[in-house]
Amino acid sequence: MAAKSINITLKIWRQKNCNAKGQMETYTLKDVSTASSFLEMLDQLNEQLVNEKKEPVAFDHDCREGICGMCSLYINGRAHGPDNGVTTCQLHMRMFDDGATIYVEPWRSAAFPVIKDLVVDRSAFDRIQQAGGFVSVNTSGRTMDANAIPVPKEDADKAFEAAACIGCGACVATCKNGSAMLFVGAKVSQYALLPQGKVEATQRALNMVRQMDEEGFGNCTNTGACEIECPKGISLDNIARLNREFLKASLVSNK
């Protein structure tokens, strides 16, 4: 079916920096191809703004293939917009009707301060990862090839599913408490399920949860919104595994 063009009204959050007071601004965009992605539509808007000698809208993007997680936008009240299992760059304009009004906002979380317009600082995730999301490998002498270490298929599948987390932050933006438990649970699970992750097992969950709390993320109340809006479908099972790993590490630490 051939793509058609639609006319839309955009209500976009504009904010100069983290200290400035932001506001919604209205833009009209005509002849938007329904075959274009949401980011391509924003490119079209920015081209129009530049031609009008106006400041373009700042938004994050990188791979535009649903891999990097950079394109994090809150669209019409949903993280990554009105489609399931996709990032913003994978959202297409065919999901919107002609004449639609679309609200576009940045992630809303105290731990993700706005840098400019729709761009937020998600370096809190990086610091959580640095606190324990790694494995130690002895590179001196003979080191066993990781592929030579037997791993039960069920564990390998679960670890792979957890590792699919791209750290976009949709779980935080969707959670009513701004919790990062799904992200941390996925990053802990991908190592907890594998032999290579046992070296740091007694400290990983403790360190990552401590850093998560220091960053100002909220508590998990198991409403499940994070799993529903996660573009990679990361399961709530990973939060349960994080809780188990945290409890075990706490008991070992107390001893």
pLDDT, position 210: 97
> What are the structural domains, with CATH classification, of the chain?
5-115 (3.10.20.30), 123-254 (1.10.1060.10)
CA distance 96 to 105: 17
Q: pTM for this one?
A: 0.93
CA distance 32 to 36: 8
Going residue by residue through the chain, which has 255 residues, state the pLDDT in tens, using 9 for 90 and above.
Answer: 568 999 999 999 999 999 999 999 999 999 999 999 999 999 999 999 999 999 999 999 999 999 999 999 999 999 999 999 999 999 999 999 999 999 999 999 999 999 999 999 999 999 999 999 988 877 666 666 767 888 999 999 999 999 999 999 999 999 999 999 999 999 999 999 999 898 899 899 999 999 999 999 999 999 999 999 999 999 999 999 999 999 999 998 776
Record the tokens describing residue 164, joined without a space: 């699919």
CA distance 61 to 58: 10
pLDDT, position 15: 98
pLDDT, position 255: 65
